[in-house]
Amino acid sequence: MAFTNVQDFREVARRKIPRSIFEYGDGGSYDEMTLRANRRDLESLRLSQRVMVDMSRRSIKTRIVGSDVSLPLIIAPTGLGGLFYADGEIHGARAAENAGIPFCLSTMSICSIEDVRAAVKTPFWFQLYVMRDRGFTRSLVERAVAAKCSALVLTVDLQVGGQRHRDIKNGLSIPPRLTFANAFDIASKPRWALGVLAGRRRSFGNLEGAPAAEEGLASLAHWVGGQFDPSLTWDDVDWVRSIWPGKLVIKGLLDERDAREAVERGADAIVVSNHGGRQLDGASSSIAALPAIADAVGGATEVLFDGGVRSGQDVLKALALGAKACMIGRAYLYALASGGQRRVEEMLGILGKELDTSMALTGVHDVKTVSPETLLRRSDGSLVGHDH
């Protein structure tokens, strides 16, 4: 089958991996209102068509936190990538390296920082959760320094975990287990079973050195559950800033007051994000939150965006509202599950082409110069399709 858009990868992913893993990736928290709003609000925006401008020379290259990239995308940190495809994070990092964009490894990845470091030449980003065990958190940062990670992404929107009903109903477990309930499902995905279930890496790669890991996987899972720290404050960001010498990206902001605070605490970039609709259900879509945040801090820090990006047209819309680049979570996971590195590269190629074509049709030569005029507005200046 020819893959022509992100939806194609999603459909293939659904067929190739067990339902519990697909739904873990695809779903959001509670009633999934924010998950849907991310898509709905992006879809409702309208691009402004312009014609008869010489469009023969175009560029989608830009710079993100000090590095040249071949298109304004970053692979978002996603936990458990290696359950979507055997050694998934290595595949993702290699695909990103070949495509010339940053790969961000999650704290909750299956492949470890060192696994990914050994697999690529280009520096990757590392996403950090500040855990209750600050000593262990510090050791993660030190490992990211040792691996020469080019940015640390501090995720600040998960100090308490939003509930995903489907994960509970599906009995999602780490590492995945063959049970009576999922036996039929797994038996119908033999390639996945052979790669992931029979593979070497099936649990949290970065947490192998964690205190509880010595006592076995059951206690590791318990330890992870207890590590999210509801007492986190901006002072913890200062602490991270003090132990991380490189670029700091703060991810998970929807409010301009928080964005201003992040800038004051020394963020080199921020990510406007609602964690892909997986945390506060009922929160604003990320795209609706973007313009006010970009206005408030766009001059002082780099504004990155994620939530619902499924096409190059979506990327163009986010850039028009003030983002410098977009992170992609699910688009990446669908491609990864469909066939590893090769499919992720293919998907990135599709998004790049869609962006390039849409720029040509909106009269934009250079992705660095996308402006608010790329979006259609009403005569009173408000955005078409945008209710904010």
Ligand X SMILES: Cc1cc2nc3c(=O)[nH]c(=O)nc-3n(C[C@H](O)[C@H](O)[C@H](O)COP(=O)(O)O)c2cc1C
Residues 6+ apart with CB under 8 A from 160: 228, 230
- Least Cβ distance, residue 103 to ligand X (angstroms): 12
Residue 296-335 contact track with ligand X, rule CB under 6 A, x = bound:
----------xxxx-----------------xxxxx-x--
Please state, in angstroms and rounded to a whole number, the distance separating the CA atoms of residues 330 and 341: 15
Helices marked H in the chain — which ranges? Answer: 6-16, 19-26, 33-44, 88-99, 113-119, 134-146, 165-170, 183-187, 190-192, 217-225, 234-243, 256-264, 286-297, 312-320, 330-361
- Least Cβ distance, residue 25 to ligand X (angstroms): 4
Rule CB under 6 A: say whether 76 interacts with ligand X. Answer: yes
Residue 166-205 contact track with ligand X, rule CB under 6 A, x = bound:
----------------------------------------
Residue 251-270 contact track with ligand X, rule CB under 6 A, x = bound:
x-------------------
Please state, in angstroms and rounded to a whole number, the distance separating the CA atoms of residues 3 and 8: 6
How many chain residues bind ligand X (CB under 6 A)? 26
User: Smaller CB distance to ligand X: residue 3 or 334?
Assistant: 334
* Piece of the chain touching ligand X by CB under 6 A; list 71-79, 134-142, 337-345, 373-381: 71-79
Catalytic-residue membership of 275: yes
- Least Cβ distance, residue 306 to ligand X (angstroms): 4
- Least Cβ distance, residue 161 to ligand X (angstroms): 11
User: Which residue, 281, 258, 337, 261, is CA-closest to 81?
Assistant: 337
- Based on the number of CB atoms within 10 Å of its own CB, is 98 exposed (0-12), middle (13-18) or buried (19 or more)? middle
Q: How many residues does the chain have?
A: 388
Catalytic residue among 91, 165, 222, 275: 275
For CA atoms 222, 224, 230, 235, give the dihedral sign: positive
What letter represents residue 26's amino acid? D
User: Smaller CB distance to ligand X: residue 162 or 246?
Assistant: 162
Query: Which positions from 101 through 160 interact with ligand X, judged by CB under 6 A?
Result: 106, 108, 127, 155
- Least Cβ distance, residue 325 to ligand X (angstroms): 13
Query: Which positions from 270 through 299 interact with ligand X, judged by CB under 6 A?
Result: 273, 275-276, 278
Three-state SS string over 60-75 comes to: CCEEECCEEECCCEEE
Residues 6+ apart with CB under 8 A from 45: 287, 317, 375, 376, 383, 384, 385, 386
* Contacting positions for ligand X (CB under 6 A): 24-25, 38, 76-79, 106, 108, 127, 155, 251, 273, 275-276, 278, 306-309, 327-331, 333
| Catalytic residue positions, numbered | 275
